[in-house]
Amino acid sequence: EAQVTQNPRYLITVTGKKLTVTCSQNMNHEYMSWYRQDPGLGLRQIYYSMNVEVTDKGDVPEGYKVSRKEKRNFPLILESPSPNQTSLYFCASSLSFTGELFFGEGSRLTVL
Amino acid sequence: RKEVEQDPGPFNVPEGATVAFNCTYSNSASQSFFWYRQDCRKEPKLLMSVYSSGNEDGRFTAQLNRASQYISLLIRDSKLSDSATYLCVVNGGTASKLTFGTGTRLQVTL
């Protein structure tokens, strides 16, 4: 089954404790992206990747890192999480950036 | 002005009604337009792309008005299962930039 898989789906952590949210897709998509969704603000892009080893900042990259060492994986790293990073995070992929994004089920992160 | 603006709603309509949403965008260089559907606490899923000539998929019709810089979504014969948030998505003129609206919530009732 074609899918984008994120883990963990739910996480409660404390300020400053490094964490990684993994994202994997099995559709051989070149384009991958991370979004956060907050009430009243909609989906905002954090980082995106056009291909392996190619990543770039989105609208809200501060406090996040990403890497794209393999085509299928695009982990999101929070080196020192803060409460303002409490949010619902979505990973998405697309074949060649046609705009048709396939989303993972989301990861709800709470930073205390 | 926001890049993509939508009326948040909620739009409360009875089953069988016709409902329309608009979405305005600010970047006249935008090339691609989409409607996504998002159920509560779930991931967004593509509903339909919006072409210059407009397009229709069953009960759903999408239109693009470049002169006034808005896109629309029309839902005919609303079903209970249409209850969701509808996200307007616009390509910002570059290949990598998609901007999401904050969504319009639709609630279809008996």
- Tens-digit pLDDT profile for residues B11-60: 999 999 999 999 999 988 888 899 999 999 899 999 999 988 889 999 99
CA–CA separation, B66 vs B24, rounded Å? 10
- Tens-digit pLDDT profile for residues B70-87: 999 999 999 999 999 999
How many residues comprise chain B? 110
DSSP letter, residue B9: -
Nearest-CB residue to A42 (from B32, B97, B101): B101
Chain B residues close to A98, C-beta within 8 Å = 32
> Tokens 């709470």 identify what position?
A110
In angstroms, what CA-CA distances link A72 with A64, A107, B31, B74?
19, 18, 28, 36
Q: Give residue A98's pLDDT band: very low, low, confident or very high (50, 70, 90).
A: low
Chain A residues close to B46, C-beta within 8 Å = 100-101
Is residue B44 classed as helix, strand or coil in its secondary structure? coil
Please check the confidence at residue A71 and state whether its pLDDT lies above 90: yes
Chain B residues close to A42, C-beta within 8 Å = 87, 100-103
At B101 the pLDDT is: 94
At B93 the pLDDT is: 62
- Contact residues of A toward B, CB < 8 A: 31, 35, 40-45, 48, 50, 56, 88, 90, 97-101, 103-106
- Contact residues of B toward A, CB < 8 A: 32, 34, 36, 41-46, 49, 87, 89, 91, 95-98, 100-103
For A85, phi then psi, to 5°, come to -95, 5
Of residues B56 and A95, the one with the higher pLDDT is: B56
- Tens-digit pLDDT profile for residues A23-43: 999 999 999 999 999 998 889
